[in-house]
Amino acid sequence: MQRRNFLSFGLAGITSQLFGKSLDNQGVKNNPIVISTWEHGLDANKAAWEILSKNGKALDAVEAGVKVSEADPNITTVGYGGFPDRDGRVTLDACIMDENSNCGSVAFLEHIMHPISVARLVMEKTPHVMLVGEGALDFALKNGFKKENLLTPVAEKAWKEWLREAKYEPVINFENNHDTIGMIALDANGNLSGACTTSGMSWKMHGRVGDSPIIGAGLYVDNEVGAACATGVGEAVIRTVGSHLVVELMRQGKSPEKACKAAVERIMQRFKGFEKIQVGFLALNKKGEYGAYCIQKGFNYAVYSGKVNNQLFDGKSAI
What residues are labeled active site?
Answer: 180
* Contact residue for ligand SD4 among 120, 178, 244, 261 (CB under 6 A): 178
Buried b (16+ CB within 10 A) or exposed e, 118-155: bbbbbbeeeeebbbbeeebbebbeeeebeeeebbbeeb
Asked if 77 is part of the footprint of ligand SD4 (rule: CB under 6 A), the reply reads yes
Length of the chain as a residue count: 319
* Contact residue for ligand SD4 among 94, 97, 201, 215 (CB under 6 A): 201
> In whole angstroms, what is the distance from residue 1 CA to residue 105 CA?
51
Asked if 115 is part of the footprint of ligand SD4 (rule: CB under 6 A), the reply reads no
Asked if 179 is part of the footprint of ligand SD4 (rule: CB under 6 A), the reply reads yes
* Contact residue for ligand SD4 among 180, 191, 223, 300 (CB under 6 A): 180
Q: How far is the CB of 81 from ligand SD4 (least distance, A)?
A: 14
State the virtual CA torsion across 31, 116, 219, 30 in degrees, nearest 10: 10
> In whole angstroms, what is the distance from residue 68 CA to residue 179 CA?
14
* Contact residue for ligand SD4 among 36, 173, 198, 223 (CB under 6 A): 198
Tell me how far CA of residue 227 lies from CA of 4, 139, 256, 301, in angstroms: 42, 28, 9, 15
Asked if 232 is part of the footprint of ligand SD4 (rule: CB under 6 A), the reply reads yes
* Contact residue for ligand SD4 among 60, 211, 222, 257 (CB under 6 A): 211
Element (H, E) at 81: none
**Shorter beta-carbon distance to ligand SD4: residue 281 or 305:** 281
List of residues contacting ligand SD4 (CB under 6 A): 77, 178-180, 198, 200-201, 210-212, 231-234
